[in-house]
Amino acid sequence: MGEVIVNKATRRQALLISGALLASTALGLGPSTAQTFPTRPITMVVPFAAGGSTDVVARIIAQKMSEGLGQQVIIENVAGAGGSTGAARVAKAEPDGYTILMGTVATHALNPLMLKRKPYDAMTDFTPVSLLVLVPNVLVVHPSLPAKTVPELIALLKADPSKHNYASSGVGTPLHLSGELFKSMAKVSMQHIAYRGSGPALNDVVAGQVPIMFDNLPSASEFIRAGTLRGIAVTTKERAPSFPDMPTIAESLPGYETYTWNALFAPPKTPKEMVDRLNAEAREAVADPAVQERLKTFSATVVGSTPEALAEHVKTEIAKWTPVVKEAGVQID
């Protein structure tokens, strides 16, 4: 009789355990999730066209993550609306860990502030994974401009407020708003000339048609080294390792800081076990010496943060850019 009771108890325990496992599996939270994920390739959406800095950074990191995950991380370029099209796709994707986004300051700080129609909420429609790298912007001028330092440029702009223009890669881009932040903090006036991309803008600045530009440091580097552009200062808090003698704008305007950043995001409600696995592999990828060597060509500073730190970073970036966007009056349909 005692043996029968033990068997009934055992069967009851087994049924309870089985039910719990089925429930957790339905939620995507099974105890073996971390060990078995991923079982197929992962799609990393890059919300810009192939060949840009975000695309190149994504491919470097995806290749290394593929090794650690044991599954290929496939890059899919989904360009449009300044990065919002690709970001919106990931925001609406299944939260199964197999679709992730290489987000930027544009997708998660600027577009949400400027777009009249909001395709997503940057704070609630994504699961943060990791802030990966920071890439400096740079203030450059045509060599014919008599300013060689930030104080000299500010003095030049104040002496004739209506004379000078500055170029950027387009309305509402991080480079445009880097210029607007500079104008606000330095209390100077410049007319913004928007181009369709960094390349055409650089060509006109090199040709002397526009005297001043804010650009990504990687794309401006060859012109600075060739002497066809003068690098005045980088926009990050610290000097760029690739140009150690070039000062920061903050050395003359304390508190000034802008940069391009790349971070991984997953759809909302992605299970923690999957987020933790993606975070671990992403951080290991950017910590790899070979990856860091390649990222140095972009003057990139490697971060590799926790999900919590990325969430706080996005919050801080939105707070920083809100008054700049409002003062510049930038709205995009």
CB 182 within 8 Å of CB 214: yes
Domain membership flag for residue 29: no
pLDDT reading at 99 higher than 90 = yes
Residue 291 token pair = 């990856």
* Co-location of 84 and 53 in the same domain: yes
Domain membership flag for residue 14: no
The b-or-e profile of 69-97 (16+ CB within 10 A means b, else e) is bebbbebebbeebbbbbbbbbbbebebbb
- CA distances from residue 22 to 27, 28, 31, 277 in whole angstroms, order as listed: 9, 10, 11, 22
**Pairing between strand 73-77 and 42-46?**
parallel
Domain membership flag for residue 312: yes
Domain membership flag for residue 87: yes
CATH number (domain holding residue 153): 3.40.190.10
Q: For residue range 52-89, list pLDDT tens digits in order.
A: 778 889 999 999 999 999 999 999 999 888 899 999 99
Find tokens 């986004």 and name the residue: 101
Alpha helices by DSSP H, listed for the chain, are: 2-26, 33-36, 53-69, 84-91, 105, 111-114, 150-159, 174-186, 198-206, 217-226, 272-287, 289-295, 307-328
- Which residue, 203, 221, 251, sits at the end of a domain? 251
* Co-location of 51 and 147 in the same domain: no
Domain membership flag for residue 37: no
* Co-location of 229 and 140 in the same domain: yes
- Which residue, 251, 272, 296, sits at the end of a domain? 251
* Co-location of 235 and 267 in the same domain: no
Bridge partner list, 137? 216
pLDDT at 32: 53
The DSSP secondary-structure symbol of 109 reads I
* Co-location of 140 and 154 in the same domain: yes
pLDDT reading at 232 higher than 90 = yes
The DSSP secondary-structure symbol of 24 reads H
CA distance 270 to 104: 20
* Co-location of 97 and 107 in the same domain: yes
User: Mean pLDDT of all residues in the chain?
Assistant: 89
- Which residue, 198, 231, 251, sits at the end of a domain? 251
* Co-location of 129 and 274 in the same domain: yes
pLDDT at 331: 86
Bridge partner list, 11? none
pLDDT at 35: 65
CATH number (domain holding residue 55): 3.40.190.150
Q: How confident is the model at residue 312 (pLDDT cuts 50, 70, 90)?
A: very high
> What domain range is 189 assigned to?
136-251
* Co-location of 146 and 211 in the same domain: yes
Domain membership flag for residue 200: yes
* Co-location of 237 and 301 in the same domain: no
Bridge partner list, 133? 262, 302
* Co-location of 99 and 171 in the same domain: no
Domain membership flag for residue 148: yes
* Co-location of 277 and 288 in the same domain: yes
Domain membership flag for residue 275: yes
Q: For residue range 154-169, list pLDDT tens digits in order.
A: 999 999 988 999 999 8
What one-character-per-residue DSSP string does 197-226 give? SHHHHHHHHHTTSS-EEEEEHHHHHHHHHH
Q: Which residues contact 46 (CB under 8 A, 6 or more apart)?
A: 54, 55, 58, 75, 76, 77, 78, 86, 102
Q: How confident is the model at residue 171 (pLDDT cuts 50, 70, 90)?
A: confident
Q: What angle do CA 186, 190, 191 make, to 5 degrees?
A: 150
**Pairing between strand 301-302 and 127-141?**
antiparallel
pLDDT at 63: 97
Tally of structural domains, the chain: 2
Q: For residue range 253-304, list pLDDT tens digits in order.
A: 999 999 989 999 999 999 999 999 999 999 999 999 999 999 987 788 899 9
* Co-location of 144 and 215 in the same domain: yes
Residue 119 token pair = 């395709």
